Amino acid sequence: MSSLILLSSPPSNLHHLRLRPNVYKYPSPPPMSILRHLNLRHYRRSFTSISAALRQDTTLWTQAPLIVLQKAAESLFHITIDVSDSPDLISSHTRPGQYLQLRLPEVEKPSFLAIASPPSLSSSKGEFEFLVKSVSGSTAELLCGLNEGDVVELSPVMGKGFDIDQISPPEEFPNVFIFATGSGISPIRSLIESGFSASKRPDVWLYYGARNLQRMAYQDRFKDWESSGVKVVPVLSQPEDRWKGERGYVQAAFARAKHIFNPLSTGAVLCGQKQMAEEVTSVLVAEGVSTEKILKNF
């Protein structure tokens, strides 16, 4: 292993010193306390940069081709990555709600993306699916501008995902409320399509919020989700005048519904905007639902 040698530059306040005959034949060095102060700041900056580089180098990146890129809604894209040549990566996806880092080979900064597809799809088809929000100036924006066949780099799968064991078996937790906003529906899709025994629970509701229908992804999947036992309630904060469904925010729509449930047999799953998650959690806890039964993927 090669060694790193750090050389500090001469302090700027010594540039005025010059050797002059009979005056400064051997200029006196500045006090060591000054040198230590100046050099310490230089070393700190150097070590910080080196440490950051070493931390990044510890991530194991797997290259894989992009095979599907389709518009899912306004500013949202459906992306599929072929990971069939990476069995270790596939086997690490064990729970809905897990995520990973994705980056482009020429772009150092990665994006954190929740896996939208259920683990069963990873194992059966060797694919990871994502719902990506294109944000100006971000790696996600560059990703949404790629072409099919372009190569990306994936980190190992991360996170604990949704701990469904906390609200199992289904007969003991018949009431489950699911809340999502914006691209937060991505890991919720993984949960619903993984099959968490929704059909065995008589009262499962999904409150899904977006600005309008143009920004609401996965509308084509609602019927399948309903048939699996999940009642879908779209909530639009800025709908068109002809919209007949729920208006406003998810937490308000849930409060208006006035569900009757036993808090001891109720679970919840949340993903999305921070204020929504905090307010929904406060409502559920105030009703007596245990925080251990309110699942998040982080």
pLDDT, position 29: 52
295, 167 in Cβ contact below 8 A? yes
Report pTM: 0.79
pLDDT digits (tens, 9 = 90+) for 184-226: 999 999 999 998 999 999 999 999 999 999 999 999 999 999 9
Q: Domain spans of the chain?
A: 62-154, 164-295
Please tell me whether residue 242 adopts helix, strand or coil conformation. coil
For the chain, give percent helix, strand, coil, nearest 5. 35, 25, 40
Q: Which element (helix H / strand E) includes 258?
A: none
Confirm or reject CATH 3.40.50.11890 for domain 164-295, answering yes or no.
Answer: no
Q: How far apart are CA 169 and CA 206, in angstroms?
A: 19
Note the helical H segments in 136-289: 139-143, 185-194, 222-227, 250-257, 274-286
Please tell me whether residue 103 adopts helix, strand or coil conformation. strand
Token digits of residue 37:
């102060």
181, 210 in Cβ contact below 8 A? yes
pLDDT, position 32: 53
- Relative to beta strand 175-181, strand 266-271 is parallel
From the list 77, 222, 240, the residue with the least C-alpha distance to 146 is 77
Using the structure block, give the residue that is written with the tokens 């095979």.
67
pLDDT, position 62: 96
pLDDT means over runs of 10, the chain (298 residues)? 40 42 46 48 45 59 97 97 96 96 91 96 96 94 95 96 96 97 97 94 97 97 97 97 96 94 97 95 96 93
Chain centroid offset of residue 15 CA: 51
Domains 62-154 and 164-295 equal at CATH topology level: no
pLDDT, position 90: 96
Q: How far apart are CA 246 and CA 223, in angstroms?
A: 18
Pick the CATH number of 62-154 from 2.30.30.100, 2.60.40.10, 2.40.30.10, 1.10.730.10: 2.40.30.10
pLDDT, position 7: 38
271, 180 in Cβ contact below 8 A? yes
The burial of 180, by beta-carbon neighbours within 10 Å (0-12 exposed, 13-18 middle, 19 or more buried), is given as: buried
93, 119 in Cβ contact below 8 A? yes
